[in-house]
């Protein structure tokens, strides 16, 4: 669970920090990106916890209603790489 929390926090920080190759995204835009990948790349419960911790962010339309959508909860899906075994 700690790794899942760190993964979401690191992604949020990376998206909201300016880089030499791109400007920083707004917090609402970063949160929307996390929601779009919740349940696949990011733990959906952790994304929901971050969204609740940032109450002043405008919630994207895809934000699941409370309680958390049960289809987003579960073990992370495995991602297979084409051509790799």
Q: Report CA-CA distances (Å) from 7 to 14, 43, 61, 82, 83.
A: 10, 9, 23, 24, 26
Q: What angle do CA 7, 12, 15 make, to 5 degrees?
A: 125
The model's pLDDT over 1-12, given as tens digits with 9 standing for 90+, comes to 999 999 999 999
The model's pLDDT over 26-82, given as tens digits with 9 standing for 90+, comes to 999 999 999 999 999 999 999 999 999 887 765 444 444 444 555 555 555 555 455
Collapsing DSSP to helix, strand or coil, 74 comes out as coil
Q: What integer pLDDT is reported at residue 78 of this predicted model?
A: 52
Provide the whole-model pTM.
Answer: 0.65
Q: What integer pLDDT is reported at residue 64 of this predicted model?
A: 46
């Amino acid at each position: 669970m700690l790794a899942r929390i760190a993964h979401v926090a690191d992604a949020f920080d990376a998206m909201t920090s300016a880089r030499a190759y791109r400007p920083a995204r707004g917090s609402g835009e970063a949160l929307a990106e996390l929601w779009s990948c919740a349940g696949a790349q990011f733990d959906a419960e952790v994304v929901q916890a971050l969204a609740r911790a940032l109450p002043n962010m405008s919630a994207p339309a895809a934000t699941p209603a409370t309680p958390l959508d049960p289809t987003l909860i579960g073990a992370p899906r495995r991602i297979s790489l084409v051509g790799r075994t």
